[in-house]
Amino acid sequence: MRDESPRLGFCCKFVLDEPEGTHKTLKAAAEAALAMNLTSVTMAHLGRLGPAARQAKLTGIVTHNLAALGRQIEWVGARPPLERLLRIASNVLPGYTHPVARAAYADASLKDAIETGLAAIGARARTLGVRLSFHPGPFCLLASRNPDALANGIAELDYHAELMDLMGYGGGWHPHGAHINIHVGARDPGVAGFRETLPRVSRIARDLVTVENDENSFGIDAVLMLAETVPVVLDLHHHWVESGGTYMEPDDPRIARIRQSWRGVRPVAHISVSREAVMADCDAGALPDFQALRAAGHSWRDLAAHSDGMWNRAVNDLVARHLAWADFEIEAKAKNLASVAIARHVTRALPSLAAA
């Protein structure tokens, strides 16, 4: 079933409001944050452990991560329908593709716990109408001249696809809007290399992968060369930086091509804004002027970095306009606090969403 209801949400980590008061309160807040978030372990640390200790360590972390992810799903699912979107952190199963952890993940009891836990999490997300995604790190790429980097990229994408499959999203083209978003990769071999490598990943991964524009090597026009192969995720902030300050509006002709690339599934887009410190002198009610900021001495890297919150009301209004065709992942460091704030702004701008 297609769901055209707009959604926006946060990425990977749950942030609590700043605690006030006693040391006891601070400690309780830290424990609450830990309970809501996934954790990890380095492969170097695991490699120093004996087999039994390694098994116990990974089992403890995975058990915690499954419980924390379940709590995140419950929190998002209790929010208004507009806010029922979550990008899941990649470290659900730390080191899953690494040789040092392979034997531990082959353990029958851990394997059963993972399969049972992820199946329940996926089912609960669907019941609550929470749209899910992954966004692997920059090392997960399908365009590279380095065979080892390419092999690692394929393994990482297949790992994320396996997680999606275990959650019940492995059947067909982006079921319930699920997706695994990556960047193109190295400038050489670029789009052609991406297209050439894609058949090497699993069938499930090919049905779930999406690709987004970036701020330097692959702008939206370059990424649209892949629109007949994979869905395109529009990152408005990346586009603003890469284009030298252009804001893409919903009536831009490229929006139609982006929508077509999703083949009937409601697209996802990304939004962020430059850091508050860089924008200290900017009017929060006006769209930031890229060229003026560059003339003031700010590098494009300064402008590309993400802010803590969605402080600019004009950018938030831009998101409200784009919600007519896409859901949005809010890429701000304040995570859920930022997504809740922009949801309130959007609801004021579009009162009809409050009743949705």
User: Each residue of 184-221: pLDDT tens digit?
Assistant: 999 999 999 999 999 999 999 999 999 999 999 999 99
In sequence order, the 6+-apart residues with CB closer than 8 A to the CB of 303 are 241, 274, 278, 290, 293, 294
DSSP, collapsed to helix, strand or coil, labels residue 329 as: strand
Check residue 342 and report its DSSP letter. H
User: How far is the CA of 160 from the CAs of 105, 240, 290, in angstroms?
Assistant: 15, 29, 36
341-355 tens-digit pLDDT: 999 999 998 887 765
Terminal Cα distance for the chain, rounded: 18
219-267 tens-digit pLDDT: 999 999 999 999 999 999 999 999 999 999 999 999 999 999 999 999 9
What's the rounded mean pLDDT across residues 127-142?
96
Q: How crowded is residue 257: how many other Cβ atoms within 10 Å of its Cβ?
A: 15
In the numeric block, the tokens 């300050």 are attached to: 245
Axis crossing angle, helix 51-77 with helix 108-128, rounded to the nearest 10: 10
Residues 242 and 203: beta-carbon distance below 8 Å: no
pLDDT of residue 19: 56
22-57 tens-digit pLDDT: 555 667 778 888 999 999 999 999 999 999 999 999
Residues 234 and 212: beta-carbon distance below 8 Å: yes
Residues 247 and 291: beta-carbon distance below 8 Å: no
What's the rounded mean pLDDT across residues 11-26?
74
SS (H, E, C) 241-309: HHCCCCCCCCCCHHHHHHHHHCCCCCCEEEECCECCCCCCCCCCCCCCCHHHHHHCCCCHHHHHCECCC
Query: pTM of the prediction?
Result: 0.95
pLDDT of residue 209: 98
pLDDT of residue 39: 97
Task: Place 4 in a pLDDT band, splitting at 50, 70 and 90.
Answer: confident
Axis crossing angle, helix 147-166 with helix 108-128, rounded to the nearest 10: 70
